[in-house]
A and B are shown apart, each in its own frame.
Chain A
Amino acid sequence: MTSPHDEPAAVAAPPAGEPRRRVRPGSRRGVPLPLLVPALLGLAFLVLPLIALLIRTPWHSLPDQLTSPGVWQALRLSLVCATAATAVSLVIGVPLAWLLARVEFPGRGLVRALVTLPLVLPPVVGGVALLMALGRNGVVGRYLDSWFGITLPFTTVGVVLAEAFVAMPFLVISVEGTLRAADPRYEEAATTLGASRFTAFRRVTLPLIAPGIAAGAVLAWARALGEFGATITFAGNFPGRTQTMPLAVYLALQSDPAAAIALSLVLLVVSVAVLAGLRDRWMTAS
């Protein structure tokens, strides 16, 4: 709960290179077998499907698959929507995290639980809930429609909202964890020197927790990029408007598995690139 972003790193990192090197020379200092066997099993379980994807990739037809306009349309839409969803999450998620970490108010535990709910909620349920709230006939959506003529389902904005709903909790949890770990005395010092609480947040707190925000934003972006259930439920599926990469992969799998593998490969490459590019940030954050 406190900082989900350092968990996967801590679990995944050790089995990668270290154990094998240490087991062979000195068995006394070696890794105990009851630990090593499940660890290697876990590693294989996580890595094998990805290797299988590479093995089954139709390499000779890959250029044709990837240069088809449909692929780029879906990829561009995915990148734009995931980035927009991350921006939305930053604008409203960071203040929410600050509120949870720094302000005492009754029912704070309940609010935190509600914020984390989308983390465990099946995304399809999130999509249904969004329809009930923001759909054309929804609790709020009916007024958006009748007063402003705005309908959100079946639009690109709908995709961004669905992704933000699912991804924002990752950012909030990550930033809140960093805020709790950060020393509040810097802010207090700033306020005693005459800065307002908002100035202290902007000039002192924000730079202090920047690594945590970055890590949270990456997590949220990655989650938004892979979002499927809430998107197809709330925003539907139309090429170029609401058909993101995961939707394209799912539908392609039905009719053209080779195309689905090619699309999956693109998503895999994008994910690896993001992880590699931000590795330093992750290390300092955790």
Chain B
Amino acid sequence: MTRSARRTTQVAAVGAAALLALSACSSDDSSSGSGSSAPRSSSSPKLSGTVTVFAAASLKESFTTLGEQFEKEHPGTKVTFSFGGSDSLAASITGGAPADLFAAASPKTMKIVTDAGDTSGAPETFVRNQLEIATLPGNPDKISSLKDLTKSDLKVVLCAEEVPCGSAAQKALAASGLKLTPVSYEQDVKSALTKVELKEADAAVVYKTDVRAAGDKVEGVDFPESADAVNDYPIALLKDAPNAEAAKAFIELVRSDQGQRVLTGAGFLKP
């Protein structure tokens, strides 16, 4: 009898602890999200709180730099990023992920979010990006054109067609009438690049900016067909942004001369 009673209380205690932990989590979320930013922004223009940025994987390096500059200019703010394939980011935003702004690598993936009515205001193009072939350092396979990638003994990775870099690559291939069978369709541009960096693949079709960011781990090869598949990058404030004021300021920074300098320095084209 006493043993079973003790067991009951033990189990109840565990259950209660689990519930407490759950509720602690949720109250934490609300205080760090809207609670910390709302009072400040109404009384003074000073920005604070966390800005959550969902951005295409290709923006990783330049946006991280811009995020650091933003935090320095606005003490008390913190910029957190989620980088990934634009399509999966769009899917998580329409699925209700808490984000302040979305920077996509193609108008098509941005359209998923605008169609769902999740943006506030029209998206604006802030940069453009062009494709490039990433090869192993020193280009041992002597790849000089898009056509060279169709050689059967080469292991080429492309982005999946659902991702902007993948649809751009398909557009360039279609425009030049080439048929390319890759070894893998990767889920975002950085995974495609990584396969070349690790020397698992001989070449990948990625963005110019990714080749530049990878430094000497890969070598870039320009191809003229990439002009047919230049991607516009749109950025938009999200409707349910928990920290809209700071998010607006971040978009201003991205579009400012200072922001454009960082982005073109990373290899992006001006809009």
Chain A positions within 8 Å of B, measured between CB atoms, are: 32, 34-35, 37-38, 131, 135-137, 151, 153-154, 232, 235-239, 242, 250-251, 253-255, 257
Asked if A236 contacts B195 (CB within 8 A), the reply is: yes
Chain B residues with CB under 8 Å of A251's CB are 160, 162, 185, 187
Output the least CB separation between A130 and chain B (Å): 11
Residue of B nearest to A250 (CB): B187
Asked if A238 contacts B184 (CB within 8 A), the reply is: yes
Asked if B160 contacts A237 (CB within 8 A), the reply is: yes
Nearest first, the 6 closest Cβ-Cβ pairs linking A and B are: A236-B184, A34-B12, A38-B15, A154-B183, A137-B199, A254-B87
Asked if A131 contacts B182 (CB within 8 A), the reply is: no
In the complex, B200 has a CB within 8 A of chain A = yes
In the complex, B186 has a CB within 8 A of chain A = yes
Question: Which residues of B191-225 are within 8 A (CB) of A?
Answer: 195, 198-201
Asked if B186 contacts A236 (CB within 8 A), the reply is: yes
In the assembled complex, the Cα of A253 lies from the Cα of B87 at a distance in Å of 9
Asked if B185 contacts A255 (CB within 8 A), the reply is: no
Can you list 13 contacts pairing A with B, beta carbon distance less than 8 Å? A32-B8, A34-B9, A34-B12, A38-B18, A135-B199, A137-B199, A137-B200, A154-B184, A236-B157, A237-B185, A238-B183, A238-B184, A254-B91
Asked if A255 contacts B162 (CB within 8 A), the reply is: yes
In the assembled complex, the Cα of A191 lies from the Cα of B198 at a distance in Å of 52
In the complex, B11 has a CB within 8 A of chain A = yes
Q: Which of A34, A235, A242, A255 contacts B87 (CB 8 A)?
A: A255
Asked if A236 contacts B160 (CB within 8 A), the reply is: no
In the complex, B85 has a CB within 8 A of chain A = yes
Output the least CB separation between A170 and chain B (Å): 26
In the assembled complex, the Cα of A251 lies from the Cα of B91 at a distance in Å of 11
Asked if A137 contacts B198 (CB within 8 A), the reply is: yes
Chain A residues with CB under 8 Å of B19's CB are 38
In the assembled complex, the Cα of A242 lies from the Cα of B184 at a distance in Å of 8
In the assembled complex, the Cα of A151 lies from the Cα of B160 at a distance in Å of 22
In the assembled complex, the Cα of A47 lies from the Cα of B198 at a distance in Å of 42
Asked if B18 contacts A131 (CB within 8 A), the reply is: no
Q: Which of B91, B155, B184, B195 contacts A253 (CB 8 A)?
A: B91
Residue of A nearest to B90 (CB): A254
Known contacts A238-B185, A257-B91; 5 further A-B pairs (Cβ under 8 A):
A35-B11, A151-B155, A154-B183, A238-B183, A251-B160
Asked if B199 contacts A254 (CB within 8 A), the reply is: no
Chain B residues with CB under 8 Å of A37's CB are 15
Chain B residues with CB under 8 Å of A34's CB are 8-9, 11-12, 15
Chain A residues with CB under 8 Å of B162's CB are 251, 254-255
In the assembled complex, the Cα of A238 lies from the Cα of B155 at a distance in Å of 12
Chain A residues with CB under 8 Å of B198's CB are 131, 135, 137
Residue of A nearest to B89 (CB): A254
Residue of A nearest to B163 (CB): A254
Chain A residues with CB under 8 Å of B90's CB are 254
Q: Which of B12, B185, B186, B187 contacts A35 (CB 8 A)?
A: B12
Output the least CB separation between B1 and chain A (Å): 13
